[in-house]
Amino acid sequence: MAVPLAMPFLSTADASTAAPANSLKPGIGDSPMKNTITTKDGVEIFYKDWGSGQPIVFSHGWPLSADDWDAQMMFFLQHGFRVIAHDRRGHGRSSQTADGHDMDHYAADLAALTEALDLHDAVHIGHSTGGGEVARYVARHGQKRTAKLVLVSAVPPIMLKTANNPDGLPIEVFDGLRKASLDNRAQFFLDVPTGPFYGFNRANAKVSQGIIQNWWRQGMMGGAKAHYDCIKAFSETDFTDDLKQISQPALVLHGDDDQIVPYKDAGVLSAKLLKNATLKIYPGYPHGMLTTHPDVLNADILAFIKA
């Protein structure tokens, strides 16, 4: 299957009342599969919760899982933070529900997690689709619990080309993603990381088969229905009003060689809409720069949190 190079392959409910499934302190001394909360609509959300200190909560991109944050979770854990990452509904180890694959549910699930773990003064970091989840969560649920937020290669304000977003991507781009996921999801989930996601299709790129296989592994853990529906969620949701409502300090990071979410119509515009944003563009960095350049990104995020 030919994979276009300059196109995205990405990342109404009230906050749920939920409690951790394990009776022990979350993340300590219990089976990993018991680290779940159950939302009010019966969806089990898997999460990791390590360490103590100020909490940092990570929201992953499409079609991945909490495992995509390994480099960040280990780094910030070693710097004295409590690190938390969840699998979005239908992704990873969370329930493969047929319903609720939209940004309102994603944000409500994140709210349920933060409330169940009683998180305060939290830093929320979202990559790609996860950046949209974070923006909607903070705007609608998390103003009192959130200290700062970081949007990395994130989909806001809106990816789809519309009358109000003339520089967006046409619907045919996302129809192509849906078709590819239906025709042969397993092959599609090899083509994306092999090509544009990490910039491995660029001349002189240092290709990592481990990174490619880990992307495929995470994708295939999730549900086909969730991944299919999520394409609409990340491409058609308009986060303009969400961004305008957020007053917390925000760090917006984007690579200028992002072949998935074009930075000029995403990070640049988001930084303008946020009330208190710092924008940093990385020359030559790809969409998956948190994985390809973790040392640089981690250091910049740490400096922002400590500032």
Q: What is the pLDDT of residue 133?
A: 99
**Considering 11, 95, 128, 181, which one is annotated as catalytic?**
128
Q: What is the pLDDT of residue 13?
A: 38
Strands 146-152 and 277-282: unpaired
**Considering 67, 242, 258, 300, which one is annotated as catalytic?**
258
Collect all residues with Cβ–Cβ distance below 8 Å to 209 and sequence separation of at least 6: none
Q: What is the pLDDT of residue 18?
A: 55
**Cis upstream peptide for 63 (omega within 30°):** yes
Q: What is the pLDDT of residue 243?
A: 99
- pTM here is 0.90
Q: How far is CA 235 from CA 44, 45, 154, 288, in A?
A: 25, 23, 11, 18
Domain map (residue ranges) of the chain? 32-306
Percent of the chain residues past pLDDT 70, beyond the cut: 89
Instruction: Give the residue ranges of the chain where pLDDT is below 50.
Output: 1-17, 19, 21-32
One-character DSSP codes across 247-286: -S-EEEEEETT-SSS-GGGTHHHHHHHSSSEEEEEETT--
Tally helices (H) and strands (E) across the chain. Answer: 10, 8
241 given a catalytic annotation: no
Q: What is the pLDDT of residue 24?
A: 34
254 given a catalytic annotation: no
Q: What is the pLDDT of residue 154?
A: 99
Q: How far apart are CA 307 and CA 291, in angstroms?
A: 24
Q: What is the pLDDT of residue 31?
A: 41
**Considering 101, 124, 141, 287, which one is annotated as catalytic?**
287
Q: How far is CA 209 from CA 2, 222, 228, in A?
A: 19, 21, 25
101 given a catalytic annotation: no
Per residue in 260-283, pLDDT (tens digit) is 999 999 999 999 999 999 999 999
Q: How would CATH label the architecture of 32-306?
A: 3-Layer(aba) Sandwich (3.40)
